[in-house]
Amino acid sequence: MLFRWFYRFFLVALATGLLAALLVVFAALVTLPSLPSLETLTDYRPKIPLRIYSADNLLIGEFGEERRDFIKIEEVPKSLKQAILAAEDDRFYQHYGVDYIGVLRAIYSNFKAGGAHQGASTITMQVARNFFLTKEKTLTRKFSEALLAFKIEHSLEKDQILELYINQIYLGQRSYGFSSAAQSYFGKQLTDINLAEAAMLAGLPKAPSRFNPIVNLERAKTRQQYVLKRMHELGYISAEQFARAKETAIAIHRRVKVFAMPADYVAEMVRQIVYDRYREEAYTRGIKVYTTLRKTDQEAAYRALRKGVMEYDARHGYRGPEAFLKLPKDLKDREALQDIMQDIGNSDDILAAVVLSATPGAVEAFRKNGETIRITGDGLKAAHRFLSNDPKIGEKRIRPGALIRVKKTEKGSWQIVQLPEIEAALVAMDPNNGAIRALVGGFDYHLNKFNHATQAWRQPGSSFKPFVYSAALEKGFTPATIINDAPLYLGPEQTGGKAWEPRNYDGKFSGPIRMRTALTHSKNLASVRILQAIGPAYAQDYATRFGFDKKHHPAVLPMALGAGSATPMQMAIGYATFANGGYHIHPYFIERIEDEHGNIIEQARFATAGRNAKQVIDPRNAFLMTSMMQDVVQRGTAARARALKRNDIAGKTGTTSNAVDAWFCGYQKDLVAVTWMGFDEPRSMGNRETGGQAALPIWIDYMATALKSIPVAKTSSPKGIIVAKINPETGMRDIFGTLNEYFFQEQLPPEMDYSFQDPEFTDQTESPMF
């Protein structure tokens, strides 16, 4: 009877097992045709972001949802491979996609623990899930995952599968793949990590957010110790290695400075171009763009611009706290204080802080990084009025809850500063081929993404005069031509608008002066008379040779004073023509574009001065203009630039009416740079805020670094230039003259006539005067 019962039980169990097997086979037959193709794996193309580099191969920008670096399996450190196997799938090289022993072990472990504490997914199953399936915990998904794992194992080698896993898995901090994670967490290349770091990385796939060492280092270390223990148990590492790795200190890298240099405006310019050409693929196919920027130049430009803007801001006084925040009841509750500052960003070294207490002698403030700082002495100097009981200050007084900005001094103490309202731009290029060496489009890209270097159409003021003077040289003027710097009234028919009575900046008149002197000291009245003599229409047409558009520079007399509009980039292009001997070049900032394999898919094509660029002005004209603009630097409105102690630099200041815009455009034969300053909503920058005061210091600070290793250039005059002594009062050649001047050989002025001398008669010969 008992035997018959066991026999029946056996038959039922056998039938149930066969039925279950048939159902599994049937389910497999039904599911297999619907499984995705493995083409994604066999032709693996990871989503690698667009990366942008400087000319010195330094990363300056990255665009894409996933931060990823592909690495071949042969380059992966052995310690990391072993750590991954120990943590995720120690029988990876023995099973065929599904580890039945691992499944049984997981069932036993979970039964013993009284819950689901251990999974049985193999590395191959995780690859299947990461590439093709969702993460929902259903029997159907698990079944599909197992079938896909078999299919993958049948199609790929084990090392290929492991390579896919190492490059695809998400590991937190926007990092996909272990190579990217090594950069994010340790600031290292994957090939440089040690055993302790390998174990910490291998512990991440289980729960990237939970074991993120940046968020919770202690929890990450606990997981790391488990991985190291498993590696020791499996014989991957010795007891000595195990003990040493457990004690190895982990230095976590927090990406404060993500890129090698501050070049956000250029990175965005590149992104727009690449996206226009490749659309969404731009962010996923691993395109690399190499720009013409140089680290030394770009960093110098960035520092110079911020320094110049902050100096302007300091000249015009502190405006009071940025805002007022509601403080928590307990001022010692750091988490609560950090919460109220969560959405307030810093601007490089200009840091946000909320005031906890304030007296005329000291301010205590809390920074969002958790630090409480104390500001005293000179650190309060800029804001002293806002710490007083002056009734005019009213609600703007610095008090608890005030949001202020602070900055560390060179001595390490804190001072109260503020975010500036004014903006600025700097663009520098090689005048011989148009390669952009530095470009800063504003004070802080994250505060104002408008690129003032390429998008800000502003009046160039007197910085436009050299183009009018160059046109005058073509019309027969010489640097010695006498111009009358005297009062001038112009009716509406002459200005194209309202009646106009131009003035010099200092309100004075110099009378008859040479054209060189007029440019050196930026004499407005003389400049208008020059334009009158050559004709506004001629000057307008002539300016197009330098890349200017007629529609932005109406043919009216105010054009002599830069009443049109131009961008800093356009001004740099124009001045490059003077610097390179008369050639028009086109600016470019992308040197080459490479695909994910390093193949060049686009290469810059540029025209070079003296080779294949178009000559637009006589090289003698460029030489004379450079000579005159060198005087602007040595003894004129840009004399502050003598601090550079070079005689090979030339340039011109520019200040518009009411000091709305300030410019300096200058160059050396191998580098041209333009600086601009002004408000986004045009308004006066204040009394005496000229191009020489506001824009020139930025240019000087930049050039001091950019030209540091470049020797002073020795220039020689081009063929067809004659040097002659002149009388400074008449501009005529004079054998007794006290000045040497350059002339086109066909435009030598007449000589002074000393053939008849009478004690009661002095020479009355008149020179041409306009």
Cα separation, 24 vs 486, in Å, equals 103
Pairing of strands 423-429, 436-440: antiparallel
Sequence letter at residue 430: D
Spatial contact of 214 and 254, defined as CB atoms under 8 Å apart: yes
Q: Are 730 and 482 in contact (CB under 8 A)?
A: yes
Its sign, for the CA torsion 251, 256, 262, 267, is positive
Q: How far is CA 746 from CA 117, 470, 620, 715, 743, in A?
A: 95, 16, 12, 22, 8
Helical pair 195-202 and 78-88, crossing angle rounded to 10 deg: 40
Residues 6+ apart with CB under 8 A from 718: 581, 619, 620, 623
Instruction: For the beta carbon of residue 7, count every other beta carbon within 10 angstroms.
Output: 10
Distance, in Å, from the CA atom of 27 to the CA atom of 523, rounded to the nearest integer, reads 91
DSSP letters spanning 536-563: HHHHHHHHGGGT--GGGS-SSGGGGGT-
* Residues linked to residue 375 through DSSP beta bridges, in sequence order: 363
- Buried-exposed string 226-263: b where 16+ CB fall within 10 A, e elsewhere: bbbebbbeeebbeeeebeebbeeebeeeeeeeebbbbb
Which residue has 């010795």 as its token pair? Answer: 238
Tokens describing residue 580:
């390179």
Contact status, residue 550 vs residue 540, Cβ threshold 8 Å:
yes
Write out the catalytic residue numbers: 88, 462
Q: Within 13 A of 657's CA, how many CA atoms are on the CB side? A: 11
User: Please, where are the H alpha helices in 475-546?
Assistant: 492-495, 515-520, 524-534, 536-543
Q: Which pair of structure tokens corresponds to residue 654?
A: 């520019």
Query: Which SS3 state, helix, strand or coil, does residue 706 take?
Result: helix
The 8-class DSSP code of residue 396 comes to G
